[in-house]
Amino acid sequence: MILRNEHKDTMYYEENWPLHYYEIEDIDFREEILKKKLAEDCDNQRRLDILLKRYPKLSSGQKRKDNFIAAWMNLFITGRLGINFLNKNRIKKEVTSYLQDLCILDFPIDDLLKEEWRQFAIFWITTCINDKTYDSTIFGLIRLNDKALAMKIASDIIEITCSIPSRFNYEADCKPLYDVMKSAYIDMIEDGEKYWTEAASVTLR
């Protein structure tokens, strides 16, 4: 059965705006409500700019791509490739493009963008915790214990926001995203600060 996709009443999301902004999971609906609020506060125009950067408009009927997710995964894959004098320029060009998609380069960084990054961080960390492929080893046959999973998540974040960018002199540019991801991780994970410190001591050595 195809279930109807029902939204909560628009007034629910508009009440105490922007308290419920990130509860609007349907991006088209989020954009629709945001556009209604543009005249009320200049911050809403900035939110719209960030939304369109993260979820660009596509042809009618197509699901909107999450540029943050795509760029994050591509950084993870590309950053683990072996780098030599033959491919360094190509890989740097790709990494630069991914950082632009994450709004790290060529895009103003402010508190509203950091809110968007934090929402992404919460989504990604939650996905890793709940994904049976991510939290396992040996082709999914053995589940990681809580500490191993927490360390893996921290190590991956540190690698993507620090280790990989540093190979192309982007470490300083990525520091704001690194800080947001670290803060979200510590807030979400039991003993997160301890695990982050341990992971950083290994990943950044």
Residue 3: is its pLDDT beyond 80? no
Please list the residues that pair with 136 across neighbouring strands.
143
Alpha helices, DSSP H only, in 55-145? 67-78, 88-101, 111-130
Band of pLDDT at residue 12, cut at 50, 70 and 90: confident
Nearest-CA neighbor of 75 among 189, 186, 164, 184? Answer: 164
pLDDT tens profile 37-52: 999 999 999 999 999 9
What percent of the chain lies above the pLDDT cut of 70? 90
pLDDT tens profile 66-84: 999 999 999 999 988 878 7
Band of pLDDT at residue 142, cut at 50, 70 and 90: low
Tell me the residue type at 195: Y
Residue 201: is its pLDDT beyond 90? yes
Of the ranges 12-26, 88-102, 179-193, which one carries the lowest mean pLDDT score?
12-26
Residue 131: is its pLDDT beyond 80? yes
> Which helix (H) or strand (E) element contains residue 172?
helix 171-188
- For residues 100-120, b (16+ Cβ closer than 10 Å) or e, as one string? ebbbbbeeeeeebbbbbbbbb
95/79 Cα distance (integer angstroms): 8
pLDDT score recorded for residue 138: 47
